[in-house]
Amino acid sequence: MILVVHAHPYPRRSRANRALVDAVREMPTVEVRSLYDLYPGFDIDTAAEQRALEEAKLVVLLHPLYWYTTPALLKHWFDVVLVKGWAFGDGGTALEGKDCLWAVTTGGDEQAFGAEGRHHLPLAAFAPVVEQTMRFCGMRWQEPFVVHGAHLIPDAEMQAAATRFRARLQELSV
């Protein structure tokens, strides 16, 4: 099973995230959980989320970059789902050995993430927060899937990215 934990604050206004979700939603082994649809009031059902995670072999975190990291609801999901005694610490082995794929879209172009760009740093400089969270839970961190220019790239390029995303999930689930 592949669990796609999807967090877009405005799912209806999403372009890149929607294309990526649509490309994998119908795969027989994929479950998509869209957090902002499930929990608009931030009242995450920890037990339900943990059950979904337990059944997954591959966990995909799919979201637009919001202030250089996950939107707040996905951060809240980290805070209340990945808890001691379940995800880490004594007896906390639920996620051990599962694969984790960070799938992140950014609004601007890649050049914005560079010494000369308006974000000053490469996207990789912002990765440790999410990466180390997952590694601390014993997950196997995979090379992130990144789509820059979510608001800029032509439809054909967006569709090509969606196809690559689907292929990546298939490859990681064998």
- Residues contributing to the site for a second copy (CB under 8 A): 9, 41-42, 66-73, 75-76, 78-79, 82, 118-121, 125-126, 128-129, 132-133, 135-136
Query: How many CA atoms, within 13 angstroms, populate the side-chain half-sphere of residue 6?
Result: 23
Contact between 117 and 111 (Cβ < 8 Å): yes
- Judged by beta carbon, residue 25 or residue 120, the one nearer a second copy is 120
Token pair 């979700």: residue: 21
Q: Which residue has the tokens 């490309």?
A: 23
CB of 34 to a second copy, least distance (A): 17
- Quick one: 25 or 135, whose CB is closer to a second copy? 135
Which residue type is seen at 74?
Answer: L
Q: Closest CB to a second copy among 9 and 144?
A: 9
What is the rounded CA–CA span in Å between residue 105 and residue 7? 11
Task: Tell me how far, at minimum, the Cβ of 138 lies from a second copy, in Å.
Answer: 12
Least Å distance, CB 124 to a second copy, is 10
| C-beta closer to a second copy: residue 76 or 168 | 76
CA–CA distance, 124 with 143 (Å, rounded to integer): 11
CA distance 44 to 40: 9
**Minimum gap (Å) between residue 154 Cβ and a second copy:** 24
